[in-house]
Amino acid sequence: MASNEDGVFDRWEVINRKIKIDLGSYQKIPSSAISTAQMANYLAQFQTIKNSCDRIVAAVEDVSDLWPTVKELFEQHQPLKRAVLTNKTRNPVLVENLPVEFILTTDARLRSRFPHEQYLYWFREPYATIVLVTCEDLDEFKNILKPRLKLIVQNDEKEWFIVFVSKAHPSNDQATKNAKKVYAKLEVDFSSKKRERCCKLDIHGPDANFWEDLELKITECIRNTLERRVQFYEDEIRKLTEQRFMPIWNFCNFFILKESLAFIFEIAHLHEDALREYDELELCYLETGSFPTPVSLSSISVALTIHVNMPGKQREFGGFDSEDDQAALLKPGSKPLTQMVHDDSFREFDFRQYLFACQSRLLFKLNRPFEVSSRGYSFVISFAKALTFHESVLPFCLREVWVLTACLALLDATASHHHDGVVAPDIEKEFYRLQGDLYSLSRLKFMRLGYLIGYGTDIEKSPLNSACLSMLPWPKPAVWPSLPPDASSEVLEKEKTLLQATSRTKHFGIQRKPLPLEPSVLLRVANRRRASLSTGNISEIFDGRPGFTEGSGLEASPRTPSSLKVQAAPMSRTNSSPGNFESPLDRPMRLAEIFVAAEHALRLTISDHDLLKTLSSVQDFEHKYLNLTKGAAENYHRSWWKRHGVVLDGEIAAVCFKHGKYDLAANSYEKVCALYAGERWQDLLAEVLPNLAECQKILNDQAGYMSSCVRLLSLDKSLFSSKERQAFQSEVVNIAHSEMKNPVPLDVSSLITFSGNTGPPLQLSDGDPGNLSVTVWSGFPDDITLDSLSLTLVATNNTDEGGQALKSSAATVLKPGRNTITFDLPPQKPGSYVLGVVTGQIGRLRFRSHSFSKGGPGETDDFMSYEKPTRPILKVAKPRALVDLSAAVSSALLINEAQWIGVIVRPINYSLKGAILHIDTGPGLKIEDSYGIEMESYMETDCDAGATKAEVSVEDSHVSPKRDSEVLNLCEGKIVFSEWASNVSSILWVPVRALSEKLARGSSSVTPLKQDILEGMRTVALKLEFGVHHNQIFERTIAAHFTDPFDVTTRVANKCNDGTLVLQVMLHSLVKANLIVLDAWLDLQDGFVHGKSDGRPTSTFFPLVVSPGSRAAVVFSISIEKTMPSGKDLQLPESILNIKYEIHGDRAAGAHNPVDAADHSVADAERRDLVFKSAIVLQRPVLDPCLTVGFLPLPSDGLRVGKLITMQWRVERLKELKGSESVEKQHDEVLYEVNANSENWMIAGRKRGYVSLSEEQGSRVVISILCVPLVAGYVRPPQLGLPNVEEANVSSNPPGPHLVCVLPPLLSSSYCVPVK
């Protein structure tokens, strides 16, 4: 110890020798006498001086008694507006508004000091010396003033400059001149090239520059002085630092030097540098201290080194003074430095707080409250550790109280210094986070204190509080406070409140083991600590255990065998009556006693009355607790830490709930639930959600309440017992069936999920209804009856159109788990459909579920289950041909005979079960009702040959068991299909008869047959109704062609000399069947008679077989009747050809034997022969020509399409007209008419008109007309007719129809280049 003191002294000697001053009386003091008391004196002096000095001092050497005159002026120009100083790293720093105090050198404050003190407290010494002079006489200056000034400025330690004050009035020229002279002389004597040391103040003259000049000069002096002093201190500090680990080292010296330096910086407004000094000081203190626990700023290795270097030496910690429980970490002056010193070292408790206070003061000056917060929080944490280490010797709960007050002090100070928007948003958020942390920490400590005095029952056993409190070890005083002697009434009262406090049962009868708020059983801990005083107690075992594990928060767990023992022994004692123990000291305290004892102890610890008051009653406790919680929550909300904020909101809600502010509680709980639900923390949600539900129930928020119940039900099943889940369900059902005014909509997506059945989607054709079966998963624990249930389908191709709702029939009972519900599906539009939404009703509750499940409701935590399934549940095909009706036969059938018309019914992947076919024949066609309609299966792949086989099978399979053919009866124009025809193509044979009154006409080479397609065309309108509900309708009109068997062409083959004409009749078969001509005869018209025979050709030709498409001919010989009867009694205008025939055809190919003829019931003999009649026109030759028409030859170059030609006919009168009635009126005029096929010819000119033709024989006229041929080929030219003249009187040349050749048009050369 002595050596150490010597060291201190030596150190100071070094300092003093260097600066060559006399230590004076201090040298005479024996070194050993500089004890702690001395040190304390130093410190006391140091602190006093420091406190008395708050700004830079400039000394004023008032040589000429001017100061009273100029003092005011000088002080007016304070502080220095802009001073450029140098910081520790020799960089210029601009300091604004630096205050400077002017003190006369004769002032007691400067004069009365011992020289050595000047260096000890250098910061208070003047930084500049201003010499004030005035003189108007040069001689006086030279002789008196100058030597005096030289004396003053000879000390080069000083930074000085001279202010020459001119009192001369501007009007006094002489005086002004003198003053100028003297000032000039002064400058010559004292200023140097290097440095200007003089400036001049005209009291009466305006001189603005002077003050700037003065400021510059003062600044220069300050800067120089500052540099020098800093340099000095730094050197000293460096030397001391090097000796840091030597035994002689003394921290106090170091501290005074360091703090002086810091203070020098501080008064020079170089706060950054000052802060750095304090930081270094703290570091050094922590490094040289002897801390068994590593602290934040020092590494473990250094701590160990120090420990080795200073064996057995340990600082006193401190913390025993009154009001030490109130953190002084922001009040540097709370305690004089002398009180912090003990045994030549600083007490850690006080000194670290002092350092932090200095740092934070500078930080506030630097306007960095954020940094105060952040440093403060770390400081509190690390300091709390130090307190923990010394806890056994500190007052009861001092640590808790200190942390609490420290946090509150920090919060107070930083909040008042913080202004929003000043710093970057990031920093601001961080600041609020730190505020939140500080609030949380103080809240935690406050709860701990509250618990210790018995308010534990008022603390919500939430996860947050449990996490805080149950992991925080109990205070570990050396001895647990014992019960004061007169506290029995308090104990009784406490016990009463403890008994009254029943733990609130949760809503729905949820029973959970409450979360612990204590790290271990308080009763045991307290009794053990107390009992450790007595000897021979079992509890000594526990005191032998390391304290660290004791506080691990897990002591209560029966993991270690020792814990097991612990639990057994003290617990039994607790339950036993006090009478078991004789001595009251040994009797374990009951819980109420512990609380009362703790309360008493705390009253001793806590010096702050406000804090005491907050702990004095439950109401005050709760009030403070709420304030702290709110503070934490608000600040966290402003920071990044939203979760912290929301969770704290939940704590506020719990308090609100307790006080009946259910709406506030519900709001906050909603937020907490939303947070947990959003991130699917179901365990935590299960803790909060019942509280929310309870609020909602009390508030009569039925919708919210039901929603909460549903949410509870949809949580993981393991979180609640089945009984609890049943309670949730019964709540839902009860509310739903209660008297609610309005139906309540509710989303139960999380509870009721649904999915389509696996496998391919249901496929329907357009317009078909169906049944859709859907799997619905119920998350309800019991069966639940739904009043209704409906399902919407959403078309995938058309999202904007709301899906159609399918209703399930009547009430549905959903079992827990999987249910299959079948919906009736009305016809849907084509497209593919996915499941939309399930809606339903339970009482007044309208629920909706949007949730699709893949496997079941167990996947509610699966994100993907909320996605819409892409798999369609239903596919409705686009309208397509479902069936095809077509005519089986395209070739012609026999007209006027009963024929089978075949209709092929071809289903296209669609069942025709129960289909109804309506048959409606068009005009000219009728169904032969007397015959049934034959239906048989139809082989599509087969060709005609196959069809033939089919027909064969028809004949012997009427009663075939295969049932692929049958006879159906037409009933009211419709037939019903049989079962067997549902899916196979079938053919229907309908017996019909086409009616035609018209007689077939033969054609000759003169009048060719005009084929009229429509002539034999008949239609059958078919309408097929099919589908499940006959909803599908297919309509088709099929055409059938009917025709006569033959086309008859006649020509006169030969003209015999005897006047017999050989008439050749060609029969052209028009049907696809073999026709067998059995007989043919001719009924001749008037004017013709049969030749040799009786009008029949030679009968040996018959029967004549005419194959399909082939021709046959029969020849008749006829002759012209000589005597032509008069026109009035003509019997036959035309000849009739009669042909008796048979037909051998297949109905699958075309014309066939008529139905009635083929009827098996009719005997062969009675078979009706088929007779075909055709009219033939025979024309008598022209026997009496009057006029002749001759077609004049055409030009030799031929006709060409598009080329204009002139057609010419010559009309010549062959004989004179005499009384012929036909030419009675206009004898000299002939009516002509040009007939031409307009498709072939374009005619220009009069087509019809009169030409004059004299009555005389041989008169002639040429009729010409312009024509353009329109088509190429052999065409019939226009014909000239004479309508007014009977055909018998006109002879034509050529006599019959003839053809002309029309060439195709020439190639157009317009776009062709001729090739040569």
Partner 1 sequence: MIVCVAVVGHQNNPLYIQSFTEAEDALKLHHIVHCSLDVIDERVNNPSKSGTTMNEAFLGLLYPALNYKVYGYLTNTKVKFIMVTSDLDVRDTDVRSFFRKFHAAYVDAVSNPFHVPGKKITSRTFSESVTNIVSSYSFN
User: Using CB under 8 A, which of the segments 165-173, 363-371, 373-381, 406-414 binds partner 1?
Assistant: 373-381
The encoded tokens of residue 1208 equal 């010419």
| Buried-exposed string 1139-1167: b where 16+ CB fall within 10 A, e elsewhere | bbbbbebbbbbbbbbbbbbeeeeeeeeee
Q: Considering just the CA atoms, what is the radius of gyration of the chain in Å?
A: 66
Q: What's the CA angle centered on 221, arms 219 and 223, to 5 degrees? A: 65
The encoded tokens of residue 95 equal 């300091």
Reported for 632-639, long-range contacts at CB under 8 A and 24+ positions apart, including other chains, are 632/436, 632/439, 632/440, 632/443, 633/436, 635/432, 635/433, 635/435, 635/436, 635/439, 636/432, 636/433, 636/436, 638/428, 638/429, 638/432, 639/429, 639/430, 639/431, 639/432, 639/433, 639/436
CA 1221 vs CA 836, 1127, 1224, 1226: distances in Å: 95, 15, 5, 11
CB contact at 8 A, 315 and 347: yes
Q: Choose, by CB under 8 A, the member of 94, 864, 971, 1163 that binds partner 1.
A: 864
Applying CB under 8 A, does 969 fall inside the site for partner 1? no
Residue closer to partner 1 (CB basis): 62 or 724: 724
Give me the least distance between CB of 1026 and partner 1, in Å please.
47
Q: What is the 3-state secondary structure (H, E, C) of 1132-1182?
A: CCCEEEEEEEEEEECCCCCCCCCCCCCCCCCCHHHCCCEEEEEEECCCCCC
Which residue intervals of 639-678 are DSSP H helices?
642-658, 662-678
User: Using CB under 8 A, which of the segments 33-41, 450-458, 639-647, 1296-1304 binds partner 1?
Assistant: 639-647
* CA neighbor of 295 nearest in space, from 307, 304, 305, 286: 286
Q: Choose, by CB under 8 A, the member of 640, 813, 817, 1181 that binds partner 1.
A: 640
Give me the least distance between CB of 365 and partner 1, in Å please.
25
CB contact at 8 A, 261 and 233: yes
Residue closer to partner 1 (CB basis): 203 or 556: 556
Applying CB under 8 A, does 671 fall inside the site for partner 1? no
Residue closer to partner 1 (CB basis): 468 or 987: 468
Q: Give the x-and-dash track for 549-588 against partner 1 (CB under 8 A).
A: ---xxx-xxxx-----------------------------
User: Using CB under 8 A, which of the segments 109-117, 305-313, 510-518, 1211-1219 binds partner 1?
Assistant: 510-518
Applying CB under 8 A, does 669 fall inside the site for partner 1? no
Applying CB under 8 A, does 683 fall inside the site for partner 1? yes
Q: Which are the contacts of 207, defined by CB distance < 8 A and separation ≥ 6? A: 200, 201
Site size toward partner 1 (CB under 8 A) is: 46
Residue closer to partner 1 (CB basis): 855 or 1008: 855
Give me the least distance between CB of 92 and partner 1, in Å please.
30
Q: What's the CA angle centered on 97, arms 92 and 101, to 5 degrees? A: 105
- DSSP assignment of 137-206 equals -HHHIIIIIHHHHHHHHT-TTS-EEEEEEE---TT-HHHHHHHHHHHHHHHHHH--SS---EEEEESSS-
Residue closer to partner 1 (CB basis): 464 or 692: 464
Residue closer to partner 1 (CB basis): 559 or 723: 559
Q: Choose, by CB under 8 A, the member of 863, 961, 1098, 1307 that binds partner 1.
A: 863
Amino acid occupying residue 213? D
Applying CB under 8 A, does 470 fall inside the site for partner 1? yes
Give me the least distance between CB of 515 and partner 1, in Å please.
6
Residue closer to partner 1 (CB basis): 554 or 1158: 554
Residue closer to partner 1 (CB basis): 125 or 687: 687
Q: Choose, by CB under 8 A, the member of 79, 463, 830, 922 that binds partner 1.
A: 463
User: Using CB under 8 A, which of the segments 78-86, 494-502, 640-648, 1173-1181 binds partner 1?
Assistant: 640-648
Give me the least distance between CB of 322 and partner 1, in Å please.
26
Q: Choose, by CB under 8 A, the member of 193, 513, 878, 1128 that binds partner 1.
A: 513
Residue closer to partner 1 (CB basis): 394 or 1275: 394
User: Using CB under 8 A, which of the segments 267-275, 860-868, 878-886, 960-968 binds partner 1?
Assistant: 860-868
Give the number of other CB atoms < 10 A from CB of residue 133: 23
Give me the least distance between CB of 298 and partner 1, in Å please.
14
Applying CB under 8 A, does 690 fall inside the site for partner 1? no
Give me the least distance between CB of 406 and partner 1, in Å please.
13
Residue closer to partner 1 (CB basis): 863 or 1274: 863
Give the number of other CB atoms < 10 A from CB of residue 484: 13
Q: Which residues are bridge partners to 1187 per DSSP?
A: 1213, 1290
Residue closer to partner 1 (CB basis): 136 or 428: 428
Name the DSSP letter for residue 1026: E
Q: Find how far residue 1302's CA is from the centre of its chain.
A: 80
Applying CB under 8 A, does 681 fall inside the site for partner 1? yes
Give the number of other CB atoms < 10 A from CB of residue 940: 11
Residue closer to partner 1 (CB basis): 223 or 644: 644
Q: Is 1276 left (phi over 0), alpha (psi -120 to 50) or beta?
A: beta
Give me the least distance between CB of 756 and partner 1, in Å please.
20
Applying CB under 8 A, does 474 fall inside the site for partner 1? no
Q: Which are the contacts of 1076, defined by CB distance < 8 A and separation ≥ 6? A: 1103, 1104, 1105, 1106, 1141, 1142, 1143, 1144
Its sign, for the CA torsion 199, 203, 207, 208, is positive
Give me the least distance between CB of 512 and partner 1, in Å please.
8
User: Using CB under 8 A, which of the segments 406-414, 858-866, 947-955, 1286-1294 binds partner 1?
Assistant: 858-866
Q: Is 412 left (phi over 0), alpha (psi -120 to 50) or beta?
A: alpha
Q: Choose, by CB under 8 A, the member of 195, 419, 642, 1248 that binds partner 1.
A: 642
Give me the least distance between CB of 645 and partner 1, in Å please.
9
Residue closer to partner 1 (CB basis): 436 or 1095: 436
User: Using CB under 8 A, which of the segments 377-385, 414-422, 577-585, 1140-1148 binds partner 1?
Assistant: 377-385
Question: Alpha-carbon distance 145 to 135, whole Å?
Answer: 8
CB contact at 8 A, 1023 and 1050: no
Q: Is 753 helix (H, G, I), strand (E, B) or coil?
A: strand
| Buried-exposed string 301-322: b where 16+ CB fall within 10 A, e elsewhere | ebbeebeeebeeeebbbbbeee
Residue closer to partner 1 (CB basis): 158 or 399: 399
Q: Give the x-and-dash track for 383-422 against partner 1 (CB under 8 A).
A: -x--------------------------------------
Applying CB under 8 A, does 81 fall inside the site for partner 1? no
Applying CB under 8 A, does 515 fall inside the site for partner 1? yes
Applying CB under 8 A, does 954 fall inside the site for partner 1? no
Question: Alpha-carbon distance 1135 to 122, whole Å?
Answer: 161
Q: Choose, by CB under 8 A, the member of 687, 964, 966, 1047 that binds partner 1.
A: 687
Give me the least distance between CB of 376 and partner 1, in Å please.
13
Applying CB under 8 A, does 679 fall inside the site for partner 1? yes
Question: Alpha-carbon distance 1103 to 1114, whole Å?
Answer: 12
Residue labelled with tokens 């001749």: 1084
Give me the least distance between CB of 615 and partner 1, in Å please.
20
Residue closer to partner 1 (CB basis): 647 or 689: 647
Give me the least distance between CB of 441 and partner 1, in Å please.
7
Q: Could you list the residues that contact partner 1 (CB under 8 A)?
A: 377-378, 381, 384, 426, 430, 433, 441, 444, 463-464, 466-468, 470-473, 513, 515-516, 552-554, 556-559, 640-644, 647, 676, 679-681, 683-684, 687, 859, 861-864
